Chain A
Amino acid sequence: MDHTEDLSARVLLKHILTTEPPRTPITRSATSRSSRQGNKDGGAQTPQDLLRHSLKHRLRESITRKSLPPPKRRTASVVLKRINMPATASMLFDDGDTPRHILRNILRTEPVRTPVVHDRAASGEPQPSSANSSIASKRQSTELSGFDLPDLTISDVVSTAKGLSRKRPRRSLNVTAFEKRLRDGEDVEGQNEEASQDNSSLSLSSSTSLSLKTPYVDVHTEKRGLQRRVSNRRKITEEEFGAAVNRRHMGEASSFVQPERGPSDTAYSEGFTLGLSKLSEPDITTDILHCNTALYAQTDAMTSNYTTVATQDKPTAMASQLQRQMSEMEQSELREEKSMNAFPTEEEAVAEPQGEEYISESQENAGGSTTNGQAQDVAVMSKSEDEENVVEAQTGEEGATDSQADEEEEEKEDGGVDSEPEEDGTTRSQSEEVQPDSRTQEEKEEEEEEEEKEDAVESQIEEECAVDAQHEEEEKDEDDAVDSQSDEKESAVDSLPEEEEEEEEEEEVAEYESNQEDPAEVSVSQFKPEDEHDGEEEVEEDGEQASEQLDGDLEHVSRRAHRSEGGLVVPVTEAEGDLADGPEARLSDGKSKAYTTFDLQNIAEMGSHESGPPHSTEFSNHGQRDASEAEKENSFDPPPVMQDIEDNGQMSDESPEEAAAQEEEEEEEEEWEDDEEIEDAPSKTPAFVRQKRDLLRPDPLASPSVLKNIQASASDSGDLPAPAPKQVRKRRAGPSRKAGGLPKNYLMSIFKHFAKTKVSADVYPVLQEIMDKFFERLADDLETYAIHAKRKTIEVEDAELLLRRQGHVSDKVPVEVLIEKYLRMDQRRLLIPIATSGNVVFPKKRR
């Protein structure tokens, strides 16, 4: 104890010297030590390393059997051996002469300070033990203090060890055991040493602050163990991680299961599922953005139509589509799309009259397959307005796809026609929320068709479609198609019984044309005299002009459409301006999109209005041009455009027949446009759009047959109702589906926010269901309350009553509390009176 205080090296040294220097058998000469250093047993490491190793080893040993002094001794010796430092260790301690050795010996012999040391010393082999201890002590010292030489001074070691002991908490040494061991181990060495050791050990032990409890061996062993373990672990983890990463890269979410990844697995799986779900959605979102939602709904319809009969498809599809679109006015998307579509149609209509190309295109397309489509369209057009509109929209899409594919050439022609119908279509589209995609496509189809047939009606249809689709690329194609179609339609207009739609479309187209440009009117007039060939010519002319206009407009519109913002007015004006600049240029520029949309719309309008043939011709021209221009998915637009046209019912100039013919042509053109659109602008349109087009194309293919059977429109009309309902049904499915659920991410985010813990992704369907039921009940209750209050509008008090009945609000808890808790500021402002400047309180307090 007295020594405990005096741990200075000097004191210890003196003590040691007095007792006996070379306690440890290892006391060799410094040379030996050096030699040891030189050949660190096999390892040939630096003495420090050896020391460290031995220390660790010893520590480990001591830790494992600290209660057993004898074994410790042995272990120490064993450790020593393992350390392969017996000789060297012994060598180390051989030098008892030098202070270093002395210190070392002290360290060794002082179990208290450095249990390892003492243990070693106490171990059976004095040398090894001493070596161990010395080594340990050395190591400690070296490690701690970085000294290479062993510190014989126990105090030093101890102190240094204590001070620098960064080892993990040594086990409290059993001092007595240590001492015993020391004594035992030091029997050979010398009792003096032992005594001294004991003293020192005692002092040391007493003084040891438990920091150096563990013997050197332990330290060494521990270190080793730690090191090894650490390294092993690292390896494993790295490997595992690498493997896991690889696996992950391979896409094996499931395989990525590791204990560490428990949570990550969940996340991954969640992410996986989410990703999967997202995969299904992007198309929809993009489609929605591009107002191509109609495409989705219609794709099935289109394909079915296509497969069923070509004749009916376009007009019936368009008509049905238009109908459906009208019914789905609530959808904001549709609104946007409509606005967008409106523009293209207008543009198209404007462009059409300007388009010289239209004429050429129409001429070119005269013999094209678009004629068939146009004929079909025309025939379809002849059917009931609604049917036609819807079908036309659909067929327009189909036709657009077909026309797109077929009429890349006919861009110009369609443009002219499309512009006219598009104009009308825009007006109608504005009024209606027709899915722009369908419209644009329809328009495109119409445009394409027009080219071939130059039927105003068709062009209208196509324009409508084009407007809906609002795809620039397809405009041209559609225009061509529409133009051709319109031409053809005109010929078949007379035979078409479905004058209503045509008239409407024509009217619309005519209106649009008149509104937009003189050429439109001219085309309208042209439409009138033209029944077949004349109509085509006129349509072409008109279409060209209109298409040109429409092209310019369509471009703008289409661009806007893509932005999915209803800036109808602006694009229209711009389009008009553009159209005025250079119809031809427009057509060629690829404003076909807008153009076709316009055309399609116009066509649709024309068809619906069944206005005078001139309009139809114009529309057809427009449509053709549009079709040619907007090769993209404007095919879808025609149907909605058609509807719009019908709705507007402004067209009165064009004769029903012509309008019908135009419509049919438009439809066909639309179809063509669609095809063309798809073909011409593969790079521009996203994949999903292309897919839609592909789907639509088959439908438009049917339209050619319709065009061919213009005269057989009567028969077609019979067929139209069948596919129209189908398409209608399918289209409805989409919107109704959407109406069902809340957005997924919104729901999940809210739920997670309220849950405040992790939420697995698989809760979403269940959550959906629950919310479904909840909304059902909610609506029911609110309605009941409102009706009970003899009101037709649900008011705030109804909701408050519901909350009260649910127990969330009571007399003690006013509803305002909840409002403030949950709602955003803009909502709160509606509910809680806020005083604003001017002594105005809003909302007015009702109670």
Chain B
Amino acid sequence: MLNKAPKLKHTVKGKMKSNVKMGPASEAMLELLTLVFVNSLAEEAKAKAFEEKSATIRAQHLKAVSKKVLKKARG
């Protein structure tokens, strides 16, 4: 959030199938989207980790929640 999300636009455009452009404002929205997504990811992962009585989020917690959160962020 405090940083600039380097190469975000580049990354996303790399994933685009057809060549579309993006304005600067939409880049900002892109960042917003990613932040929101990562936020929900982190929250879910945290809950899962607490569930397993671990104060640290580990990879397995993350994996378990990822599918769910990804589905939610499908739009």
List residues of chain A with CB within 8 A of the CB of B72.
806-807
CB distance from A186 to the nearest CB of B (A): 57
B-side binding surface: helix, strand, loop or mixed?
Answer: helix
- Picked from A742, A766, A781, A827, the residue with its CB within 8 Å of the CB of B62 is A766
Q: Are B36 and A822 in contact (CB under 8 A)?
A: yes
Closest B-chain residue to A770, C-beta based?
B66
* Bound Cα distance from A775 to B1, whole angstroms: 17
Q: Mark B1-35, 1 if CB is under 8 A from A, else 0.
A: 11101111011111111101111111011111111
List residues of chain A with CB within 8 A of the CB of B32.
799, 803, 818-819, 822-823, 827
Indicate if A792 sits at the interface (CB-CB under 8 A).
yes
CB distance from A737 to the nearest CB of B (A): 11
Q: Are A794 and B20 in contact (CB under 8 A)?
A: yes
Q: Are B39 and A823 in contact (CB under 8 A)?
A: no
Q: Are B38 and A754 in contact (CB under 8 A)?
A: yes
CB distance from A508 to the nearest CB of B (A): 29
* Bound Cα distance from A771 to B12, whole angstroms: 10
Indicate if A755 sits at the interface (CB-CB under 8 A).
yes
* Bound Cα distance from A746 to B10, whole angstroms: 15
List residues of chain B with CB within 8 A of the CB of A845.
none
Q: Are B26 and A794 in contact (CB under 8 A)?
A: yes
* Bound Cα distance from A828 to B15, whole angstroms: 25
List residues of chain A with CB within 8 A of the CB of B46.
755-757
List residues of chain B with CB within 8 A of the CB of A751.
38, 41-42
Indicate if A788 sits at the interface (CB-CB under 8 A).
no
CB distance from A433 to the nearest CB of B (A): 13
* Bound Cα distance from A766 to B41, whole angstroms: 12
* Bound Cα distance from A364 to B21, whole angstroms: 54
Q: Are B56 and A758 in contact (CB under 8 A)?
A: yes
* Bound Cα distance from A235 to B21, whole angstroms: 67
* Bound Cα distance from A256 to B58, whole angstroms: 20
Given A779-B16, A794-B23, A806-B73: A750 touches B29 (CB 8 Å cut-off): no
Q: Are B70 and A770 in contact (CB under 8 A)?
A: yes
List residues of chain A with CB within 8 A of the CB of B16.
779, 783
A:776-815 near B, CB below 8 Å: 776-783, 786-787, 792-796, 798-803, 805-808
- Picked from A770, A776, A781, A795, the residue with its CB within 8 Å of the CB of B23 is A795
- Picked from B39, B57, B70, the residue with its CB within 8 Å of the CB of A774 is B70
List residues of chain A with CB within 8 A of the CB of B8.
742
Given A794-B20, A831-B28: A767 touches B75 (CB 8 Å cut-off): no
List residues of chain A with CB within 8 A of the CB of B36.
803, 806, 808, 818, 822
List residues of chain B with CB within 8 A of the CB of A796.
23, 25-26, 28-29
Q: Are A792 and B5 in contact (CB under 8 A)?
A: no
Q: Are B38 and A750 in contact (CB under 8 A)?
A: yes
Q: Are B1 and A777 in contact (CB under 8 A)?
A: no
CB distance from A761 to the nearest CB of B (A): 9
List residues of chain A with CB within 8 A of the CB of B34.
771, 774-775, 778
Q: Are A793 and B21 in contact (CB under 8 A)?
A: yes
Q: Are A757 and B57 in contact (CB under 8 A)?
A: yes
Indicate if A249 sits at the interface (CB-CB under 8 A).
no
* Bound Cα distance from A795 to B30, whole angstroms: 10
Closest B-chain residue to A830, C-beta based?
B25
Q: Are A799 and B3 in contact (CB under 8 A)?
A: no
Given A739-B11, A743-B7, A746-B3: A799 touches B66 (CB 8 Å cut-off): no
Indicate if A760 sits at the interface (CB-CB under 8 A).
yes
Q: How many A-B contacts if CB must be within 8 Å?
A: 185
Indicate if B53 sits at the interface (CB-CB under 8 A).
no
* Bound Cα distance from A758 to B3, whole angstroms: 20
Q: Are A754 and B58 in contact (CB under 8 A)?
A: no
* Bound Cα distance from A753 to B3, whole angstroms: 12
List residues of chain B with CB within 8 A of the CB of A828.
28
Q: Are B5 and A746 in contact (CB under 8 A)?
A: yes
Q: Are A760 and B58 in contact (CB under 8 A)?
A: yes
- Picked from B12, B23, B29, the residue with its CB within 8 Å of the CB of A800 is B29
Q: Are B59 and A766 in contact (CB under 8 A)?
A: yes
List residues of chain B with CB within 8 A of the CB of A847.
none
CB distance from B17 to the nearest CB of A (A): 7
Given A739-B10, A778-B12, A827-B31: A750 touches B1 (CB 8 Å cut-off): yes
* Bound Cα distance from A191 to B22, whole angstroms: 103
Indicate if A98 sits at the interface (CB-CB under 8 A).
no
CB distance from A805 to the nearest CB of B (A): 4
Closest A-chain residue to B74, C-beta based?
A777
Closest B-chain residue to A761, C-beta based?
B59
- Picked from B13, B23, B57, B70, the residue with its CB within 8 Å of the CB of A773 is B70
Indicate if A275 sits at the interface (CB-CB under 8 A).
no
* Bound Cα distance from A335 to B21, whole angstroms: 20
Closest A-chain residue to B10, C-beta based?
A739
CB distance from B52 to the nearest CB of A (A): 12
Indicate if A266 sits at the interface (CB-CB under 8 A).
yes
Which of the listed residues B2, B17, B29, B30 has the most CB atoms from chain A within 10 Å of its own CB? Answer: B29
Indicate if A260 sits at the interface (CB-CB under 8 A).
no
Q: Are B59 and A758 in contact (CB under 8 A)?
A: no
List residues of chain B with CB within 8 A of the CB of A775.
11-12, 15, 34
* Bound Cα distance from A771 to B35, whole angstroms: 11
CB distance from B53 to the nearest CB of A (A): 12
CB distance from A784 to the nearest CB of B (A): 9
Q: Are A760 and B12 in contact (CB under 8 A)?
A: no
Given A743-B6, A749-B3, A823-B31: A830 touches B24 (CB 8 Å cut-off): yes
* Bound Cα distance from A756 to B38, whole angstroms: 12
Given A740-B11, A756-B46: A777 touches B28 (CB 8 Å cut-off): no
CB distance from A549 to the nearest CB of B (A): 36
CB distance from A307 to the nearest CB of B (A): 32
Indicate if A763 sits at the interface (CB-CB under 8 A).
yes
CB distance from A833 to the nearest CB of B (A): 11
Q: Are A742 and B7 in contact (CB under 8 A)?
A: yes
Q: Are B17 and A831 in contact (CB under 8 A)?
A: no
Indicate if A718 sits at the interface (CB-CB under 8 A).
no
List residues of chain B with CB within 8 A of the CB of A794.
20-23, 26
Indicate if A843 sits at the interface (CB-CB under 8 A).
yes
Q: Are B70 and A777 in contact (CB under 8 A)?
A: yes
* Bound Cα distance from A747 to B35, whole angstroms: 10
* Bound Cα distance from A801 to B17, whole angstroms: 20
CB distance from B69 to the nearest CB of A (A): 8
Indicate if A163 sits at the interface (CB-CB under 8 A).
no
Q: Are A760 and B56 in contact (CB under 8 A)?
A: yes
List residues of chain B with CB within 8 A of the CB of A776.
15
Task: Please give the residue numbers on chain A whose beta carbons come within 8 Å of chain B beta carbons, in ascending order.
Answer: 266, 330, 736, 738-743, 746-747, 749-751, 753-760, 762-763, 765-767, 769-771, 773-783, 786-787, 792-796, 798-803, 805-808, 818-819, 822-824, 827-828, 830-831, 843
| Interchain residue pairs with CB less than 8 A apart (17) | A742-B11, A746-B5, A758-B56, A759-B56, A763-B45, A766-B63, A769-B66, A775-B12, A778-B12, A779-B12, A801-B75, A802-B33, A803-B32, A806-B72, A822-B39, A827-B32, A830-B25
Task: Please give the residue numbers on chain B whose beta carbons come within 8 Å of chain A beta carbons, in ascending order.
Answer: 1-3, 5-8, 10-18, 20-26, 28-39, 41-43, 45-46, 49, 55-59, 62-63, 66, 69-70, 72-75
A-B complex: 7 closest residue pairs judged by Cβ atoms:
A799-B29, A754-B42, A827-B28, A805-B75, A755-B42, A758-B56, A779-B15
Contacts A779-B16, A783-B20, A830-B25 supplied; 6 other A-B pairs, CB < 8 Å: A740-B11, A756-B42, A758-B56, A779-B15, A783-B17, A822-B1
